[in-house]
């Protein structure tokens, strides 16, 4: 086929929003789910927020973590209010280190809390220490208890005792799924991003680890400065239109926001992206959403490629099938 015969993909525009013929590039991670409970929902939230703090990107934080959802007393092992937390790292060794530090410094220290594995025992043959190492804080006063074949540690503290399940399963997970919302301005970009994050939080098994679930400092691999492994994604910076060697933006785009998704499975990440895309399309061009793009490095960063148009078409087909059955 000659160069003149090469066909570019037809544009895909829904409700005035263009959907790029591109993909989000994600990579393997290790992850676990914890359940943190407390005497009240407020204290569970204090512990969960602290334990998942400074955990936006493994570039500098060591872990990516977040509150997956709030749990009612009927959903927790001890019948108290609680939270489900997801913690991701690049290796099992790093995840074990992050788990011990975050639970030890942020959950054990928080009044009235307890911590349990949030995954079933048969979820994975791989496990990480939880109470197994934290028990030594008890200085010899700690005791263990077996319930239905599961060991728990009771560590004496000044408000009673801290209960921790001995270990938690570790899963092979996916990090770095993403969406880029290209919008006419800051208000429009924030509005669609906030709505998308709220909708995506309803998807089980995912977190959006950045503040409020949104990141404005999208990055690319490498930098002109040798000491930096990542730098600003200049192709998506509106202020650099006409200045950078390459831009992916048109002059109408004055603000871009990114949502990064980590998930316990490929399917969970794809579903969250689908929900986020649907939210953006529902907002439409009339509310300042011009285009949905994704960040990738040409397939060189990770093996998981989440193609935007494939995700969109599969979602539309699923919706049509549900309508037909109804």
Selected residue with higher pLDDT from 318 and 281: 281
Antiparallel, parallel or unpaired: β 64-71 and 114-117: unpaired
Selected residue with higher pLDDT from 1 and 201: 201
Which is nearest to 81 in space by CA: 21, 135, 39, 115? 39
Residue 323's pLDDT band, with cuts at 50, 70 and 90, is low
258-285 average pLDDT score:
98
Per-residue confidence (pLDDT) for residue 26, from 0 to 100? 96
Return d(Cα 298, Cα 277) in angstroms, integer.
21
> Looking at the domain 10-25+172-325, which fold is it?
Alpha-Beta Plaits (3.30.70)
Query: Does CATH place domain 30-171 in 3.40.710.10?
Result: no
Give span(s): CATH 3.30.70.520, the chain. 10-25+172-325, 30-171
Per-residue confidence (pLDDT) for residue 314, from 0 to 100? 93
Per-residue confidence (pLDDT) for residue 324, from 0 to 100? 55
Per-residue confidence (pLDDT) for residue 3, from 0 to 100? 46
For 78, residues 6+ apart whose C-beta sits below 8 A from its C-beta are 37, 114, 116, 163
pLDDT at 192 over 60: yes
65-91 average pLDDT score:
98
Q: pLDDT for 143-191, tens place per residue?
A: 999 999 999 999 999 999 999 999 999 999 999 999 999 999 999 999 9
Per-residue confidence (pLDDT) for residue 230, from 0 to 100? 87
pLDDT at 2 over 50: no
In angstroms, the Cα distances linking 300 to 24, 99, 295, 296, 306 are 12, 29, 12, 8, 14
Q: pLDDT for 283-318, tens place per residue?
A: 999 999 999 999 988 877 889 999 999 999 998 766
Q: pLDDT for 95-142, tens place per residue?
A: 999 999 999 999 999 999 999 999 999 999 999 999 999 999 999 999
């Amino acid at each position: 086929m000659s160069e003149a015969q090469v066909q570019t993909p037809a544009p895909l525009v829904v409700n005035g929003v263009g959907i790029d013929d591109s993909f989000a590039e994600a990579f393997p991670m290790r992850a676990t789910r914890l359940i943190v409970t407390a005497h009240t929902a407020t204290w569970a939230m204090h512990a969960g927020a602290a334990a998942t703090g400074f955990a936006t990107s493994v570039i500098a934080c060591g872990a990516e973590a977040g509150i997956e959802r709030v749990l009612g007393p009927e959903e927790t092992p001890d019948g108290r209010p609680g939270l489900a937390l997801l913690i991701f790292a690049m290796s099992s060794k790093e995840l074990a280190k992050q788990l011990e530090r975050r639970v030890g410094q942020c959950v054990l220290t928080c009044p009235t809390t307890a911590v349990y594995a949030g995954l079933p025992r048969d979820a994975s043959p791989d496990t990480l220490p939880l109470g197994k190492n934290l028990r030594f804080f008890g200085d010899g006063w700690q005791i263990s208890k077996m319930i239905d074949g599961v060991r728990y540690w009771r560590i004496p503290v000044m408000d009673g005792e801290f209960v921790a399940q001995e270990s938690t399963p570790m899963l092979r997970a996916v990090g770095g799924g993403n969406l880029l919302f290209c919008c006419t301005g800051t208000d429009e970009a924030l509005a669609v991003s906030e709505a998308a994050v709220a909708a995506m939080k309803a998807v089980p098994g995912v977190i959006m680890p950045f503040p409020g679930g949104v990141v404005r400092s999208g990055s690319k691999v490498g930098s002109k400065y040798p000491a930096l492994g990542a730098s600003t994604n200049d192709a998506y910076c509106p202020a650099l239109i006409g200045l950078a060697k390459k831009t992916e933006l048109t002059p109408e785009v004055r603000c871009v926001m990114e949502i990064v998704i980590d998930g316990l499975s490929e399917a969970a990440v794809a579903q969250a992206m689908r929900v986020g895309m649907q939210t953006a399309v529902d907002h439409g061009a009339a509310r300042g959403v011009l285009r949905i793009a994704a960040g990738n490095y040409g397939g060189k960063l990770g093996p998981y490629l989440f193609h935007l148009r494939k995700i969109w078409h599969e979602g539309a087909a699923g919706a049509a099938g549900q309508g037909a059955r109804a």
